């Protein structure tokens, strides 16, 4: 039997698509998500103060992403709509990170394996803060729709491995916020053995703080970040 | 690319260009919008449903307070004696409702989600006028129901972060059933007992009111409303049911605790033992 002209095996197609997406994601600066004593900390190197990589989805759910802005922004807005619709038609407590992660997985998976479109060049973390640190959830979603339920730390984007290793060395479940933030920033600045300076103004920092009532998401202003970093 | 192709979420979830939750609902599930459930053939029927009554708002030197009585009535029956009619809208605003209770509570819920939704999608909060206009639109959408007798008349009060002088930052907006929006100066009241409450405030209000003066005069105003309007509930000391009082200042929204309101209410009731008509304004 002869192969038709231009035949490419499905394995090759999927591999090409995966390579394409991975390259796009690794180009960007890293975003990290980690648990600390009172909740979940998000840190991203992001010189823009208007185009966010980290955002609030619902009372206890946060969103972090790397890759192409327009693609993850689309997913973020859909997530906010889904969460608000669910909270409005049922109850605020019925909005869960798991449901959101599942929906994102379906969307990403369908786009990855559908023939025509290019895959999304994004990686996403959906974080849900629990009543206690034992019930904190971190879901990591990759461009092909795979979901992983991660423990304590997720690093996405460029130099993810090196930053992840540095974080895992210093991480404890009872880490206070200040200390957690210093650990995160030192892991970002020392990624891949280089030693760069990152000004507080080019860091995007937010937390899901379980001690706050109702909406737990809060952005930390530059001044607060600089103060935490200075007080070492 | 059309993200909704064969996906778990319909196209409305990916529609660009709108930051409004009610626009999204209108597109995706219009049956969830209050006021969209009017069915053909029932337009001439009227429904008897619980009604909420009196709300007062008073601006003061550091912000604004919004307070309401606790009674809901259905005809001559007290439908509920501990209903809450004043709610937090967002971090810097509050909304109180008079009119058909069921529709009003749903409208407030939608309004709260509307403000939060905008804030999450845009990354900034709406201006105070923006919030007030949005509420206007939600009321206008309820007009068909209002014509059936299920009218909602809210009052909106908030702290305007763009105003530098705190004495001018507490602002009050009232509405009519068609969604007409009117900014009120200093104080206002809506609901069946509002005529009496407004009369009381007219005599009590001073330009240099502090927050606690405003709170005290709101309890007096609600007492006067309950005194002359059967549908407004007075303080119920035996069941410990007091007015709901909320305050919005530069520090954000705060609902006064039950103990705090209990103290003020008992003080007002004791004063009324001496003077049933309340504090007397100087004649000259």
Tell me the nearest-neighbour CA distance from B120 into chain A, angstroms. 6
Q: For residue B123, give the nearest of A52, A107, A111 by CB distance.
A: A52
CATH code assigned at B98: 3.60.20.10
The radius of gyration of chain B from alpha carbons, rounded to an integer in Å, stands at 20
Provide the edge-to-edge strand list for the sheet that holds B187-190: B187-190, B55-60, B63-68, B244-249, B252-255
- Whether B202 contacts chain A with CB within 8 A: no
pTM of the model: 0.91
Tell me the nearest-neighbour CA distance from A170 into chain B, angstroms. 32
Distance CA A40, CA A33 (A): 7
- Whether A99 contacts chain B with CB within 8 A: no
Taking one residue from A and the other from B, the number of pairs with CB-CB distance under 8 angstroms is: 63
- Residue of B130, B249, B246, B109 lying closest to B181 (CA atoms): B130
Residue in B closest to A62 by C-alpha:
B120
The two structure tokens encoding residue B264: 């003020």
Does B8 fall in a domain? no
Fold entry, domain A28-230: 3.60.20
Structure ipTM over 0.85, yes or no: yes
Tell me the nearest-neighbour CA distance from B213 into chain A, angstroms. 29
Cβ atoms of residues B44 and B149 within 8 Å: no
For B63-94, how does the pLDDT look when each residue is reduced to its tens digit (9 = 90+)?
A: 999 999 999 999 899 999 999 999 999 999 99
Confidence at residue A197, expressed as pLDDT on a 0 to 100 scale: 85
Q: Which residue has the higher pLDDT, A159 or B183?
A: B183
Enclosing domain of residue B60: 48-274
The two structure tokens encoding residue A216: 């737990």
- Whether B5 contacts chain A with CB within 8 A: yes
Distance CA A13, CA A19 (A): 10
**Secondary-structure breakdown of chain B: helix, strand, coil percentages, each rounded to the nearest 5:** 35, 25, 40
Does B192 fall in a domain? yes
First vs last Cα of chain A: how many Å apart? Answer: 70
Confidence at residue A192, expressed as pLDDT on a 0 to 100 scale: 82
Residues of B in contact with A81 (CB under 8 A): 12-13, 21, 24, 28, 117
**Cα→Cα distances A32→A123, A163, A185, B47, Å:** 12, 9, 10, 56
Does B41 fall in a domain? no
Does B2 fall in a domain? no
- Whether A106 contacts chain B with CB within 8 A: yes
The partner residues of B254 in beta bridges, in order of sequence, read B247
Average pLDDT over all residues of chain A: 91
Looking at the 3D structure of chain B, how many domains does it have?
Answer: 1
Return the beta strands (E) in A12-152 as ranges: 31-36, 39-45, 54-58, 61-67, 122-128, 137-141, 147-150
Contacts for B189 with CB less than 8 Å, ≥ 6 apart:
B54, B55, B56, B57, B155, B197, B198, B201, B221, B225
Strands B252-255 and B244-249: antiparallel
Q: Which residue has the higher pLDDT, B143 or A205?
A: A205
Does residue B6 register a pLDDT over 70? Answer: no
Ramachandran assignment for A204, one of left (phi > 0), alpha (psi -120 to 50 degrees), beta (any other): beta
Helix pair angle (A69-89, B21-28), 10° resolution: 80
* Owner of token pair 């008897």: B48
**Cα→Cα distances B81→A157, B232, B240, Å:** 57, 10, 11
Residues of B in contact with A56 (CB under 8 A): 120
- Residue of B209, B221, B189, B250 lying closest to B63 (CA atoms): B250
Percent of chain A past pLDDT 70, that is, above it, reads 97
Q: Which of A50, A77, A110 to mutate to test the interface with B (most CBs of B within 10 A)?
A: A77
Tell me the nearest-neighbour CA distance from A62 into chain B, angstroms. 11
Q: For residue A89, give the nearest of B6, B16, B32 by CB distance.
A: B32
- Whether B28 contacts chain A with CB within 8 A: yes
- Whether B8 contacts chain A with CB within 8 A: yes
- Whether A50 contacts chain B with CB within 8 A: yes
Q: Is the alpha carbon torsion for A193, A197, A202, A205 positive or negative?
A: positive
For A7-65, how does the pLDDT look when each residue is reduced to its tens digit (9 = 90+)?
A: 888 888 888 888 888 888 888 889 999 999 999 999 999 988 889 999 999 999 999 99
Q: For residue B113, give the nearest of A50, A57, A88 by CB distance.
A: A88
CB spacing of A84 vs B13 below 8 angstroms: no
What is the band of B1 on the pLDDT scale with cuts at 50, 70, 90? Answer: very low
Does B149 fall in a domain? yes
- Residue of B69, B281, B59 lying closest to B156 (CA atoms): B59
Residues of B annotated as catalytic are 53
């Amino acid at each position: 039997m002869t192969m038709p002209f231009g035949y490419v095996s499905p394995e090759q197609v999927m591999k090409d698509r995966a390579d394409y997406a991975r390259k796009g994601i690794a180009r960007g600066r890293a975003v990290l998500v980690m648990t600390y004593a009172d909740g979940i900390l998000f840190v991203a190197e992001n010189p823009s103060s208007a185009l966010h990589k980290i955002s609030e989805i619902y009372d206890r759910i946060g969103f972090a992403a790397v890759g192409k802005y327009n693609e993850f922004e689309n997913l973020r807005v859909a997530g906010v709509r889904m969460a608000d619709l669910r909270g409005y038609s049922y109850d605020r407590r019925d909005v869960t990170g798991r449901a959101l992660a599942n929906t994102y997985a379906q969307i990403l998976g369908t786009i990855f394996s559908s023939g025509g479109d290019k895959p999304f060049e994004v990686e996403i973390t959906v974080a849900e803060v629990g009543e206690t640190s034992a019930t904190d959830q971190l879901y990591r979603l990759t461009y092909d729709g795979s979901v992983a339920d991660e423990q304590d730390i997720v690093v996405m984007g460029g130099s993810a491995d090196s930053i992840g290793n540095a974080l895992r060395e210093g991480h404890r479940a009872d880490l206070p916020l200040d200390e957690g933030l210093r650990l995160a920033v030192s892991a970002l600045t020392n990624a891949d053995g280089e030693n760069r300076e990152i000004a507080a103004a080019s860091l995007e920092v937010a937390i899901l703080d379980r001690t706050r009532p109702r909406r737990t998401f809060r952005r930390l202003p530059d001044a607060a970040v600089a103060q935490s970093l200075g007080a070492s | 690319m059309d993200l909704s192709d064969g996906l778990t979420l319909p196209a409305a979830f990916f529609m660009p260009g709108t930051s409004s939750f009610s626009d999204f609902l209108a597109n995706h599930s219009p049956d969830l919008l209050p006021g969209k459930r009017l069915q053909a053939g029932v337009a001439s029927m009227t429904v008897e449903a619980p009604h909420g009554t009196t709300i007062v708002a008073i601006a003061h030197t550091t912000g604004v307070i919004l307070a309401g009585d606790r009674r809901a009535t259905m005809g001559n029956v007290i439908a509920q004696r501990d209903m809450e009619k004043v709610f937090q809208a967002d971090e810097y605003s509050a909304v109180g409702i008079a009119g058909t209770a069921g529709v009003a509570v749903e409208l407030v819920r939608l309004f709260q989600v509307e403000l939060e939704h905008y804030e999450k999608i845009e990354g900034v909060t709406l201006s105070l006028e923006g919030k007030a206009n949005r509420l206007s639109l939600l009321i206008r959408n309820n007009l068909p129901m209002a014509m059936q007798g299920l009218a909602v008349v809210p009052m909106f009060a908030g702290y305007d972060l763009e105003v530098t002088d705190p004495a001018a930052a507490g602002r009050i907006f009232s509405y009519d059933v068609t969604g007409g929006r009117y900014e009120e100066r200093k104080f206002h009241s809506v609901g069946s007992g509002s005529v009496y409450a407004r009369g009381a405030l007219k005599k009590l209000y001073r330009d240099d009111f502090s927050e606690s003066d405003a709170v005290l005069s709101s309890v007096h105003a609600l007492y006067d409303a309950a005194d002359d309007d059967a549908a407004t509930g007075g303080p119920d000391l035996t069941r410990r049911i007091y007015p709901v009082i909320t305050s919005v200042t530069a520090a954000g929204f705060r609902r006064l605790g039950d103990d705090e309101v209990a103290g003020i209410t008992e003080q007002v009731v004791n004063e009324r033992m001496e003077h049933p008509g309340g504090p007397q304004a100087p004649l000259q």
